[in-house]
Amino acid sequence: MLRGNCLVAQSGGPTSVINGSLYGVITQALKENSFGKILGGIHGIKGILEGKIKDLTEVSMDLLEKVKLSPSAALGSCRYKLKDPRESTEEYEKLFKVFDENNVRYFFYIGGNDSMDSAYKIDMYAKKVGYDIKVIGIPKTIDNDLMHTDHCPGYGSVAKYVATVCMELALDSAVYGTGVINVLEVMGRNTGWIAGSAALAKEKIPDLNMLIYMPEIVFDEEKFLNDLKKAFETNNHLFVVVSEGLVNKDGDYVFNRKNSYKKDIFGHIQLGGVGDYIEQLIKANVYDKVKLTRLGFLQRCAMHYVSKTDLDEAVMAGEMAIKYALEGISGKMVTLVREDGPDYRCSTGLVELDKVCNYEKKVPLEWINEDGNFVNNDFMDYVRPLVVGEAEVPMHNGLPVYTRLF
């Protein structure tokens, strides 16, 4: 029995494996054979509002396999905030007209906090107006800051990338045997999950002299400089990892260059640049030879080096979204559940969308060392299995074969 069409879209900043979830949704939908058409929304809710919908029902498996192993969001993305339907219904009327015209009865939204907010509002409005649709959120974020899921698809790959980059930069800068302080600026907005993953490099290079500063710990300039001076005295080849979202005791971002305070449409402050500030601070107070690396967008699109565990779980989250929807579930996000036991195994669960949207999961303080400048073994136990395995990206004449659907 065909139960109407399903629509899938992607939203927010891409991760290296966000297309894994798209692949999971489409391939599982094809397998279930329960839908009329499988539709893709181009540029997320924003594009859907404009009627930008592409029929993916006949898309070849060959192309889907390439999509799975391509960086960025293959359907395009958006940063678009739906209004509260209790305040204004205009957008929703437009959106549900598009849904109705396309007989959309299942909607899958792959995204982070803000995307879950949109999914939640769509589900709420549908219930209010009696439009029969199942809405399922599929988590993605390199920041790993979604609540009620053990971790987020996208995080394992950025952790693997960051740790490897730390190893490579540390070895590279050690060649002269002279003093040098590496500064690596990583993303993560208000949480230290990405910064903490750098500690994996120290497990591989035990004499690596590394300090990690995360937004969970108030940044105190004096303590920071004392930490560095002490560490540098012991070993003048020092590696400092800083999260873009470090905050001081007043709750302000440490890096407050005026134009860094432009807010995006969600009210988030656009970050970036804390590395330059830290570099100057170190040069003026600790040591003159500083090598700054700002990973920027590289860390969220390095498909050439993703974690296979992460990619597999991204696919699983997409597949399970289809299964849950066909069970009649709506208004929930798929979660990743870490099974008990000595070996790492991951299954899925569900959580209400409104328990996810607009919250942020921080690194537990008990996973951070007493000095507030490194993570402890609980964090390591958590992150270690997430980076395992390599995915084989199709290559042609030495370069990857990437694709997209829009």
Task: Note the residues at the interface with a copy of itself (CB under 8 A).
Answer: 10, 14, 42-43, 47, 70-73, 76-79, 160, 163-165, 167-169, 171-177, 200-201, 204-205, 291-294, 296-298, 300-305, 307, 309, 384, 387-390, 395-402, 404, 406
Spot the catalytic one: 114, 143, 310, 354: 143
Backbone angles phi, psi at 9, to 5 degrees: -145, 165
3 state DSSP class of 184: strand
In the complex, least distance from residue 4 CB atom to a copy of itself, rounded to whole angstroms: 27
In the complex, least distance from residue 333 CB atom to a copy of itself, rounded to whole angstroms: 21
- 5 has which bridge partners? 104
- Please report, for residues 8, 77, 173, 312, the alpha-carbon distance to residue 208 in angstroms, rounded to integers and kept in the order given: 44, 39, 12, 31
Nearest 5°: the CA angle 196, 199, 201 is 140
Q: In angstroms, rounded to a whole number, what is the distance separating the alpha carbons of residues 15 and 303?
A: 9
98 neighbors 51 (Cβ within 8 angstroms) = yes
Q: Is 239 exposed, middle or buried (0-12, 13-18, 19+ CB in 10 A)?
A: buried
3 state DSSP class of 347: strand
- 335 has which bridge partners? 349
**DSSP secondary structure of 106-162:** EEEEEESHHHHHHHHHHHHHHHHHT---EEEEEE--TT---TTSSS-TTHHHHHHHH
Would you say 104 or 200 has its CB closer to a copy of itself? 200
Would you say 28 or 197 has its CB closer to a copy of itself? 197
In the complex, least distance from residue 21 CB atom to a copy of itself, rounded to whole angstroms: 15
Would you say 249 or 396 has its CB closer to a copy of itself? 396
In the complex, least distance from residue 200 CB atom to a copy of itself, rounded to whole angstroms: 6
Backbone angles phi, psi at 326, to 5 degrees: -70, -20
Would you say 49 or 73 has its CB closer to a copy of itself? 73
Where is the binding site for diphosphate, in residues? 13
Would you say 291 or 323 has its CB closer to a copy of itself? 291
Where is the binding site for substrate, in residues? 141-143, 187-189, 244
Q: In angstroms, rounded to a whole number, what is the distance separating the alpha carbons of residues 267 and 50?
A: 24
Q: In angstroms, rounded to a whole number, what is the distance separating the alpha carbons of residues 136 and 108?
A: 5
Would you say 266 or 359 has its CB closer to a copy of itself? 266
For 226-379, where are the E strands, in sequence order? 237-243, 290-294, 332-338, 346-352
* Catalytic residue check, 62: no
In the complex, least distance from residue 8 CB atom to a copy of itself, rounded to whole angstroms: 15
Q: In angstroms, rounded to a whole number, what is the distance separating the alpha carbons of residues 20 and 312?
A: 7
In the complex, least distance from residue 327 CB atom to a copy of itself, rounded to whole angstroms: 31
Where is the binding site, in residues? 13, 113, 141-143, 187-189, 244
Active site residues: 143
